[in-house]
Amino acid sequence: MQGSGRKLTVPKDVIQKMNPPKFEKVEDMANLTYLNEASVLYNLKSRYYSGLIYTYSGLFCVVINPYKRLPIYREEIVEWYKGKKRHERPPHIFAIADTAYRNMILDRKDQSILCTGESGAGKTENTKRVIQYLASVATSTKNQKTTPSNIISKLNGELEAQLLKANPILEAFGNAKTIKNDNSSRFGKFIRINFDTSGFIAGANIETYLLEKTRVIRKAPEERSFHIFYQLLASATPELKEKLLLNDAASAKHNYLSHGMIEVSGVDEKQAFQETAEAMSIMGISEEDQQGSLPFFPIRFFGIGFQCITCWWERFFQHLKKTFWSLL
């Protein structure tokens, strides 16, 4: 075996053919001379170890979660992919988004991007990157001929900011730490972005499915409830905690709050809370409405029953979703 010096004897019929050296780290595995399981896995592994997490496979794009932040989503990278054909740039989620956008413009037909995979595969992150790309490419020059440039800049900046800040709010109230994933979406979502006849973003909406309501009051060991609980407890002022009945004296009396907290490595809950509040403000949600959205019900509704609490959370989640998407 290569690297270890060991020899391994295997039946001839299980050996799969190796591709020529020119296909080393090939960008599109549909071009492989021998397309077999061993070749696919070897190519994905070779690219991953070289920091190349995106690989094409025909019409599909295979993504391997690096579990670390990579400098491949900066604004200059967005500009580098704008208007380029897929084969002109290395595999990237931006290339997928650009292809869908250009096909929509040219063919005048709806386009879809489906992100699939098991928990922790990177579905949420890549969905955000698609929105990031479309928010940049489809809001940058809208109405330049008929609107003063300073107003254009303001309107486009607001729309782009709202598109980018919508997901963080949903993540705060709908994502949680699980055994496999520190930022696992506990619901499915279908995001629809609407464009006008000129190809510019005119609005957006979202549909959610299968929200894990039970996580509000019950979670598995080493897992957490929704992020917003921990953001709030780490960041709220004494006055706000008193108002929400979350002060230390009240918290100590309740089973839900008195058994410590599981921390997420690399996450600053106070900063995350500030980002959530900022996102709400950008979406046009007033400070009063923001405080009305905070999850104080584990205290106030303690003892009214499992069904009441979980149904309340679902209604609240749906109301939150409708509120900020209607602002776009």
Q: Binding site residues, as ranges?
A: 117-124
Residue 101, Cβ neighbours under 10 Å: how many?
22
Which segments of 122-213 does DSSP mark as H helices, in order?
123-137, 149-174
SS3 226: strand
Residue whose tokens read 């670390």 = 68
Show binding-site residues for ATP.
Answer: 117-124
User: What are the backbone dihedrals phi and psi of residue 230, each rounded to the nearest 5 degrees, phi first?
Assistant: -75, -35
Contact 93, 54 (CB under 8 A): yes
The whole-angstrom separation of Cα 216 and Cα 309 is 8
Residue type, 159: L
Give Dmax over CA atoms of the chain in angstroms: 74
| Integer Cα distance of 74 and 78 in angstroms | 7
d(C-alpha 155, C-alpha 116), whole Å: 33
What sign has the CA pseudo-torsion 240, 241, 245, 247?
negative
